[in-house]
Structure 1
Amino acid sequence: MNGPMNSLTGTRALARLALRLDRVRLTVWVLGLAVMPMATAANYFKLYPTEADLRAVSAVFTNPSLVALSGPLFDLSIGGLTAWKIGATEFVLVGLMSLLTVVRHTRAEEETGRLELIRATVVGRHAPLTAALLVTALANLAIAVLTALGLMATGLPTVGSVAFGLATGLVGILFAAVAAAVAQLTEGARTASGIASAVLGGTYLLRAVGDTGPAWLSWLSPTGWALHLRPYADERWWVAALFIGFAVLFTAAGYALAGRRDVGAGLLPERPGPATASPGLRSPLALAWRLHRGLLLGWTVALAVTGAVLGGAAAGFGDLQSPNQQLADVLSRMGGRTDLTDAFLAAIFGITGMVAAAYTVQATLRLRQEESSGRVEALLATGIGRLRWAASHLVFALLGTALLLAVAGVAGGLVYGAQVHDVGGQVGRLLEAALVQVPAAWVLAGFGTALIGLAPRLSALAWGALILSVLLFELGALFGLSQWVLDVTPFAHVPKLPGSAFTVTPMLWLTLIAVALGAAGLAGLRRRDMPVA
């Protein structure tokens, strides 16, 4: 040691370790998030080659339903259209990357016990948190720079490109700071990620409501701030101060809270249970329910709100008449070849299906979390078989997904039906549109189970499959990708309801694929060594 030890001693070494551990994961995030805006801009140059083409469809981009999804269009130009189309998605994804990275290198390291071993060396109290924030900030800086350079390379104005890159990086840094504070509250990484993700999702919904209703609500949302920085439309650089101020505030809170708790503990300690378990906890299924119920309840509320907001947004879509055949084709590919309202409803419930699939993946990977933490060893030592233990968790991943989508469908049907004065008819239609997404989400559960059983160290790739599905759904139709590329995601095979004809064949195939993947994973889990760190 070159000097006296302080609270930041060891930060550089921990940052290098985090970069090494995340070298593949962060590279994929950075390149993917940097390429999306550039590819969107390049495609819009082809889709709307002249200003007349843009003016011909200007009414489309100001439709309240699309504003709820993507935000307001501040300038009718290729740059403004690019920021409008990809901005909200880009900001949510960069926020997700940032909060997951911070939680993984702070709370998750504490939960597994690795941080306690590291802290036994010459490492200061605040070094792990500082290293996590530095690595995340570096990733966001790379995204911001590459995004701006990529947009400029397509021919978009330099100032607007820098503004969009800056907005993207600032959103990521802010949610890294939010995660730094939240990670101090709970004892579990899963809970910390869930709380931070709920904050992220709440900001998106708050922005959606504000952009179509009381405008001041958008100014309560960081994703709203990013849009209101207004890339390519008389940029408001002062909005960056909001991000910087709140990032400093949450970071300071994270450091202050970290100094008030023990390593491995949270400021909100888990309530101690009784000395002996009740009869209701004397089975793997009962224990799994205890572990999953908080997550399931939180997701149920989130999907109810999501369904209601998106269902309400659909009401204004019936007035949309697009004279641009290419745009109509995009909507048709996303939501079926019927009228635009049904196409929009099918598209938003496709999005809802992928939102629910995030719970599916999270609940499935609980198996891996229980194994890596060492808790499964004590459970299996009681004579409970591996398959019985795994099935107790997977039942919540599968049935919980169906519950979430049913709630979203009913909520969307109630709100949309009330606006079109047909509650009874619309609840059934949108419930069906939501439930057809279930087998596609189950495929991700099967994929996650296969990874846990056959290649446990790669189990995080289940999140990669979900992210790929989101990107193909969001950009595949816009880019005119071949159908065989879109078919990579299970959600491409879901019947596009409402409006299109319901066909049971793809549902059966998706279910069979999910069963086959799950069976392969369970077979591998039964045979391999446990636990695998």
Structure 2
Amino acid sequence: MTTVSAPAAGAGARTGGSRHLAGTWPLFRLALRRDRIMLPAWVLVIGASHMSVASSYASLYDTAAARADIVRSMTANSSLRALYGPFFNDTLGALTAARMIAFGSAFAAAMSLIIVVRHTREEEETGRQEMLSAAMVGRAAPLTAALLTALTANAALALLIAGGLAGSTGDTTGSLALGLATGAVGMLFACTAAIAAQITENARLAKGLTSAVIGAAFALKAAGDASAANGSSLLTRLSPIGWAENVRAYDDERWWVMLILLAAIAVQAVLAYTLAGRRDIGMSFLPARPGPAHGGLGTAWALALRLQRGSVLGWGAGFLLTGILFGGITDGVADVVGDNEQARQIFERMGGQQGLTDAFLAAMVSMLGMVAALYVVASVLRLYGEETGGRAEPVLAGPVGRLRWAAGHLLIAYAGAALIMLLGGVGLTLGYGRDLPTILGACLVQLPAVWLLGALAVFLYGLAPKVSVAAWAVAGLALALGWIGPAIDLPQSVMNLSPFGHLPRLPGPEMSWPPVLVLTALAAALTAGGLAGLRRRDLLT
């Protein structure tokens, strides 16, 4: 009897352990199917950015002397070090790593947080996870499937970076180190998002909390690199992005730093699973606070502001700090470019044919505008989230029409875009130290293109809500064209696919009103068309 019961107990323990992971594989396949467009787009854009930078540097600085000059110039400028990081040597690979390690890691982190929150907290928020859990789905299966999806995306990104740069730089080891470091940071923040999904009450808060951690990591790295030219600052060492930087790809790689990243991933993953096992589906460790006995939100606009104020404040703070950073390096651009005619031409293609300083400012203003387009698309698509989450129907059941409800969110989207662009302009002025009216005017000129991309999201949401996420692809294409296009000298006909390609490149030249007015009119027309479609169609159920 004793002999039989011991194996049975062991089998029961094994069965109990596997029961928590039951259904992981089907959920993983479902996540890959749902993200079959989004994941390749993220991976290809981030990977292509690395290869584009390597190709650009290869053509701009084609001799060892030229690369040594640019490294000396950028190392001597603390603002440039804060933006890009330290240059550990003057090889093509080291230049690429310095330029891309922080931005690539931050984008990988953003990709990962979207994946994990989408397949954990958002599933619970919409009620789908509760239905799935009624079947053969273990308690740990949704979180495991989400982390496996993030792992797949980050592994693909690491391989793409490693393979693409190995051919460009001729250094397979350094390319592998850069790819693995970027993917590891992405996976680390995937685990951060998994923790945030357990402790917060909804997907919006989970994304906001994780985004704040990513922003803090980037800020720590930037502050540390500004104070030390070799990545040795304590602030840099406190940042996961700083850890990736200190892997030192293309310069006697420090593989032991990867162990720190892997240990941080493991610790956060264990914490996420522990928290997930101690709460019920739909619950959180930071429950919603009860509101006042008598509501104070009397209009649809007030409700939209209450829902989106955190996003506006976060984007505004980010634009202000980014503007200060860009403004601080403006005076040093001439020293960095020097006599390099190809580098000068890239800035002129980005910012116009005026003087180099004005061209750089115009390029930075344009970049702020293209990033602001991501804000406005996210803000507009909040309507879709409210509808699919079942929160729009109770609002519309009262004395609130669809147009009033949508107009409240659109006011936040469009006015919020103007606010964050103004804050970006203020930051540029603070960093540069002069020309406030000129820079603010240049920032405001970007708004018609920003609004047009937001209006496209409104149009798709109003007429075909299930494909409204395609607005992300259009905004991403505009950002990719503006960032990569000038470096590889794409034809103007291709650059004109982006609305930003039609705007006057201020500051510098005379203001040109026709394209601004045309883009504004198109934005108004698409917004009106989207609202008309919303008024006539059925709500999603």
| TM-score, length-scaled by structure 2 | 0.90
Q: Deviation of residue 52 (structure 1)?
A: 4.4
Q: Deviation of residue 60 (structure 1)?
A: 4.8
Match of 2:264 in 1: 246
Counterpart Cα distance in 1 of 2:220 and 2:301: 36
Amino acid aligned to 2:217 = T
Match of 1:307 in 2: 323
2:28 equivalent to 1:19: no
Match of 2:276 in 1: 258
Match of 2:408 in 1: 392
Match of 2:81 in 1: 67
1:463 to 472, 478, 489: 472
1:99 to 103, 113, 122: 113
2:313 equivalent to 1:297: yes
After superposition, the Cα gap between the structure-2 partners of 1:320 and 1:154, relative to the gap in structure 1 and judged at 3 Å, is closer
Amino acid aligned to 1:327 = A
Match of 2:376 in 1: 360
1:414, 1:426 within 8 Å by CA — same for their partners in 2? no
Match of 2:453 in 1: 444
Counterpart Cα distance in 2 of 1:492 and 1:210: 36
Amino acid aligned to 2:315 = W
2:515 equivalent to 1:497: no
Match of 1:165 in 2: 179
Counterpart Cα distance in 1 of 2:54 and 2:331: 29
2:211 equivalent to 1:193: no
Cα-to-partner distance string for 1:28-80 (whole Å, 9 max, x where unaligned): 22333333323433444344444344346444544624433322222212222
Q: Deviation of residue 124 (structure 1)?
A: 1.7
2:341 equivalent to 1:325: yes
After superposition, the Cα gap between the structure-2 partners of 1:312 and 1:324, relative to the gap in structure 1 and judged at 3 Å, is closer
Q: 1:368-383, aligned counterparts within 5 Å? A: 368-383=384-399
1:205, 1:306 within 8 Å by CA — same for their partners in 2? no
2:537 equivalent to 1:519: no
Say which is worse superposed, 128-137 or 76-85, in terms of deviation: 76-85
Identity across the alignment (%) = 47
Counterpart Cα distance in 2 of 1:478 and 1:85: 14
Residue 183 of structure 1 aligns to a residue whose secondary structure is: helix
2:85, 2:98 within 8 Å by CA — same for their partners in 1? yes
1:102, 1:180 within 8 Å by CA — same for their partners in 2? yes
Match of 1:421 in 2: none
When the two chains are superposed, the root-mean-square deviation of aligned CA atoms in Å is: 2.3
Cα-to-partner distance string for 1:256-281 (whole Å, 9 max, x where unaligned): 22233321122221211234423xx2
Segments of 5+ residues of structure 1 without an aligned counterpart are: 418-424
Counterpart Cα distance in 2 of 1:47 and 1:314: 20
After superposition, the Cα gap between the structure-2 partners of 1:508 and 1:324, relative to the gap in structure 1 and judged at 3 Å, is same
1:136 to 127, 150, 173: 150
Amino acid aligned to 1:28 = A
1:63, 1:320 within 8 Å by CA — same for their partners in 2? no
After superposition, the Cα gap between the structure-2 partners of 1:52 and 1:293, relative to the gap in structure 1 and judged at 3 Å, is closer
Counterpart Cα distance in 1 of 2:290 and 2:315: 25
Counterpart Cα distance in 2 of 1:24 and 1:189: 21
Counterpart Cα distance in 2 of 1:38 and 1:308: 28
1:60, 1:322 within 8 Å by CA — same for their partners in 2? no
Cα-to-partner distance string for 1:202-244 (whole Å, 9 max, x where unaligned): 3223322322225332222222222222221221212212211
1:234 to 237, 241, 252: 252
After superposition, the Cα gap between the structure-2 partners of 1:56 and 1:314, relative to the gap in structure 1 and judged at 3 Å, is closer
Counterpart Cα distance in 2 of 1:264 and 1:228: 40
Counterpart Cα distance in 2 of 1:489 and 1:335: 15
1:181 to 182, 189, 195: 195
| TM-score, length-scaled by structure 1 | 0.92
Q: How many residues align?
A: 523
